[in-house]
Structure 1
Amino acid sequence: MTLKTKAFRFFYKAHIYLGLFVAVHFIFLSISGSILLFKEEVEGSVHETVAVPAEQTSMSYSTLLSDVLKKFPGERPLAVFKDDEHENIVNVRLGMNDSKMFRGARKLMFDSRTGAELNAEAGKSSFMDWMLKLHREFFLGSYGKMYVGFIGLLYFFVMLSGFFIYGNFAKKVAFGEVRIKSPRHWFSDMHRYIGIGVFAWGLIIGATGFFLGISSTLIKVYQYQELKEINQQYKDIHGDNDHAHNASVLDQVIKTSGQALPNAKVDYIAMPDTQFSPPNHFLVVMVGNTPQTERMTQLVVVDAATGTQGEVRELPWYMKITLASEPLHFGNYGGLFLKIVWLGFSIFSLLLPIFGLVIWYKRKKATQVKGVSMETRKLSDSLLFKNRFAIPLVLFVVTAVMIIGAFILGGTFAMASGYILLIPLILTGAVVLRGKRGKS
């Protein structure tokens, strides 16, 4: 037995048994994920504020946070950051009872133009929250989140093994040829063709789902490694002075961060001496201010006593991947257009575990039947795919629309995902050129 044959048997068996394990999980994840794609549209714009003059500028962050601390005395400011979807919304996190931990923190939301407090819970859907808990953790808390991440990793492997298996069948059958003499053969061929169509998308979903599932663990790794090093570096500066409640220098911190990274903008400010910042120093997360650099993240450490002396640090690679995983996983960085594309891929991928379960069930029954005639195994042109170029043509149209949409939306991040999804088109084109009709 050659090494190639052994590898094929390994991937074939692994694909079957791991696929059966992943199948039921993925059905729930695919359905819940498809619904969550439109979470924002279902809940609507929940942060509507009163109209303000066009010339109205944002109020000082220092003033805003000072007012908040007067309203909630005894609570520790943990973070200040802008809302992802609404430019004029500022979020504030407060540690109750002077806690440094973000878990259980008070969540506040303000209009940056007027300083008016907004209702962070307004418009939220209990149904969507239920779906999110199902999709993210199967209602099992932090352990469930890691379990879902493990399912994502297995799904990634199942897609890879399926691609390896597909290469063996592609040598015998012209692409677009589906056997209709037997329901089991029809389901098998459709399973393979749909699988190759959503292959690249499936790898993205599996990999990003894995990183999101273990994100809490990665954050702990960051805390105990990178953040511990930062804390050691700055722990003795300014002695034991408590600058955690120093809101007056917040505007200067923003200015200093901008000077440290002129081509970036402030995305998130961790206040001094919290779970995610060193003693007596702000930790500012900066992102690029252009569509091409908006997902590039860097850190600036700023002195809390003076608001100066910024030092630029890089996030570790695993944190960068984790931060990029959420928009890629949910397709929520390209507006409604990309969400619809993601929904299409999600629906087609949902057929894979369903067809896989049918194949497994019918295969068990088929093994009990002997002497299958050559006529049964004869390949026939599918009623659905009489033209063997039909599927490549559909993939070409979908991919072309995605790439055009990516250019319209702008941003290297959007275009990169469009080009990644071009992979199935290239692969299927190669299969068409090399395809051979099976022997009758």
Structure 2
Amino acid sequence: MKPNNNDKKGHNLLWKIHHWAGLYTGIVIGILCLTGAIAVFIPEIDGWIQRRYYSVYTTPLSAPALPKIDNAFTEAKKQYPKMASLLIDMPDRPEGIATFSFVVKGKDKASNQSYSLFVDPVHDKILGNRDRQNSLANYLRQMHVRLYEGFWGRQLVGLAGVAFVVVTITGFLIYGNFMKKQPYPKIRKKNVRILMADWHKILGISALAFNFVIACSGAWLGLQPKLMQWFDIKAPNDFKAEVIIDKKEDANIAVHWNKVFKVAKQEFPGLKPGYMRASEDGTATIEIHGSIDGQIYERNINSLVISKTTYKPLFKCDISKASFRDKFYSVQEALHFGDFGGLGLKILYAVLGLTSAFLSISGFVVYLHRTDKMKKRAISPLKTTFIYSILILLILIIIAMISMFIGYRQASFIAAIIVNGTLAIFIIYAITNYILKKMKPKASII
């Protein structure tokens, strides 16, 4: 039975949507899949770097005990009397190291310095320091979350996630019937185009469920700040305390962190503190954010807020007791990074992430082969794809090197030029091409 014209039109429309969505966002999707495959190991990578290059480690006690950081905190205040915006990150393993991340304010914002102190939470002492912003862990997260660009980056990542959703769904609708006719996982080797096309289809179908979850959660996480602003969405652990004292008075209140751990243990027994923050805005509060073993939610989504003066609880968020809406909100990041099933799941996420990155490359090769005769290119599709891939990889490596060895601001500035420049060129190209097509239907500047 031959397909009717409506079926053909529907198939052609799906193919065009898949083709253009993949072509114009494929590079961004490829970068996000590549960096995401590495970013799932950020805690493990950072822990290895701490031990290997900073020689910081601790010997856990034989019996479980509450962390101790009061002496280290007192010493940090002596070394950096102008510290502000202190964030205390606690380890998730008994042999892990805590970090004090803070800013030392200068004459203006540009002269502020960011620091991270490595702290032994067992023996209560400072082990070393580094610039937090210039770390590999920060580079991986910033590149994956916002392409290292502060203004448009996160929105572009979110839109790339939306495009990835479109590509995944249309790819399934287009190639689902095709895969019924071709034994799985048979790869035809007639020529490069067919070889790459078959790999593209088979890997796309194999990673379909993974790609759909990653695309949907990535789209949400990328567009989350704007969507929450536009639709007045509140995070489940969002708590707004009232201002009760002067900001300077609030910042000068001494915090006994060992007591904070005891209060957290008493008021929220299952909570494993992930990070803590004392207020400097006049609310006189201490926030303790953490995770609960066995939950499939993003890290540190549970929280406890206590008074900085009385150490009495003011707010508690146990996500296991929250509404379905709040649970759905809180599961997105965990699903996106595979941060709930141990090292084995992370390895699976990394393999599937690299598979998704390959889909961008194979799709580009197939596109170039399809249009090669019409465009009469001097370089073969494989060579063109190889050059583009190496160029993009070099750019990522260069930005990483600048970020780690020169400075975060300099790397961010270069990334902003590349991202915004590429976006501007693309918009100008699209408008110019559209105008020329209207003026001369047969003309094209592709």
- Please give the alpha-carbon distance, in whole angstroms, between the structure 2 residues aligned to 1:305 and 1:363: 70
Q: Which of 282, 292, 297 is residue 286 of structure 2 equivalent to?
A: 282
Q: Which of 353, 357, 374 is residue 350 of structure 1 equivalent to?
A: 357
Percent of aligned pairs with the same amino acid: 22
Q: Please say if residues 75 and 98 of structure 1, whose CA atoms lie closer than 8 Å, have aligned partners that are also in contact.
A: no
Q: Which of 60, 71, 74 is residue 66 of structure 1 equivalent to?
A: 74
Relative contact order: is structure 1 or structure 2 higher (C-alpha 8 Å, sep ≥ 6)?
A: 1
Q: Secondary structure at the match of 2:312?
A: coil
Question: Does 1:15 find its partner at 2:18?
Answer: yes
- Please give the alpha-carbon distance, in whole angstroms, between the structure 2 residues aligned to 1:267 and 1:201: 28
- Please give the alpha-carbon distance, in whole angstroms, between the structure 1 residues aligned to 2:62 and 2:371: 71
Question: Does 1:341 find its partner at 2:348?
Answer: yes
Q: Which of 147, 163, 179 is residue 156 of structure 2 equivalent to?
A: 147
Shift of 1:185: 4.1
- Please give the alpha-carbon distance, in whole angstroms, between the structure 1 residues aligned to 2:68 and 2:88: 12
Q: Please list, as runs of the form range in 1=range in 2, the aligned pairs for 1:188-227 lying within 5 A after superposition.
A: 188-214=197-223
- Please give the alpha-carbon distance, in whole angstroms, between the structure 2 residues aligned to 1:294 and 1:132: 15
Q: Which moved more, 1:327-336 or 1:136-145?
A: 327-336
Shift of 1:342: 3.1
Q: Which of 244, 254, 258 is residue 261 of structure 2 equivalent to?
A: 254
Q: Please say if residues 298 and 332 of structure 2, whose CA atoms lie closer than 8 Å, have aligned partners that are also in contact.
A: no
Q: Please say if residues 331 and 339 of structure 1, whose CA atoms lie closer than 8 Å, have aligned partners that are also in contact.
A: yes
- Please give the alpha-carbon distance, in whole angstroms, between the structure 1 residues aligned to 2:305 and 2:136: 40
CA pair 60-295 structure 1, distance change in 2 beyond 3 A: closer
- Please give the alpha-carbon distance, in whole angstroms, between the structure 2 residues aligned to 1:110 and 1:297: 23
Report the residue type matching 1:353 in the other structure: S
* Aligned match of 2:380: none
Shift of 1:159: 1.0
Question: Does 1:44 find its partner at 2:44?
Answer: no
CA pair 345-65 structure 1, distance change in 2 beyond 3 A: same
Q: What do residues 324-345 of structure 1 show as CA deviations (whole Å, max 9, x unaligned)?
A: 5555445466555444433432
Q: Which of 310, 313, 318 is residue 309 of structure 1 equivalent to?
A: 313
Q: Please say if residues 43 and 125 of structure 1, whose CA atoms lie closer than 8 Å, have aligned partners that are also in contact.
A: no
Shift of 1:204: 3.1
- Please give the alpha-carbon distance, in whole angstroms, between the structure 1 residues aligned to 2:250 and 2:179: 66
CA pair 91-53 structure 1, distance change in 2 beyond 3 A: closer
Question: Does 1:234 find its partner at 2:221?
Answer: no
Q: Please say if residues 65 and 247 of structure 1, whose CA atoms lie closer than 8 Å, have aligned partners that are also in contact.
A: no
CA pair 364-192 structure 1, distance change in 2 beyond 3 A: same
Shift of 1:321: 6.8
- Please give the alpha-carbon distance, in whole angstroms, between the structure 2 residues aligned to 1:309 and 1:29: 40
Q: Which of 297, 300, 306 is residue 301 of structure 2 equivalent to?
A: 297
Q: Please list, as runs of the form range in 1=range in 2, the aligned pairs for 1:26-425 lying within 5 A after superposition.
A: 26-36=29-39, 40-41=44-45, 44-47=48-51, 48-49=55-56, 54=61, 60-76=68-84, 78-84=86-92, 87-97=95-105, 105-121=114-130, 134-170=143-179, 172-176=181-185, 184-214=193-223, 230-231=239-240, 234-236=242-244, 242-274=249-281, 279-290=283-294, 295=299, 297-313=301-317, 328-331=335-338, 336-364=343-371
CA pair 118-177 structure 1, distance change in 2 beyond 3 A: same
How many aligned positions are there? 361
- Please give the alpha-carbon distance, in whole angstroms, between the structure 1 residues aligned to 2:184 and 2:62: 60
- Please give the alpha-carbon distance, in whole angstroms, between the structure 2 residues aligned to 1:270 and 1:178: 55
CA pair 343-49 structure 1, distance change in 2 beyond 3 A: closer
Report the residue type matching 1:140 in the other structure: E
- Please give the alpha-carbon distance, in whole angstroms, between the structure 1 residues aligned to 2:306 and 2:329: 24
- Please give the alpha-carbon distance, in whole angstroms, between the structure 2 residues aligned to 1:271 and 1:328: 30
* Aligned match of 2:439: none
- Please give the alpha-carbon distance, in whole angstroms, between the structure 2 residues aligned to 1:319 and 1:15: 33
Report the residue type matching 1:203 in the other structure: F
Shift of 1:271: 0.6
Shift of 1:19: 0.8
Q: Please say if residues 207 and 355 of structure 2, whose CA atoms lie closer than 8 Å, have aligned partners that are also in contact.
A: yes
**TM-score (structure 1 length as normaliser):** 0.64
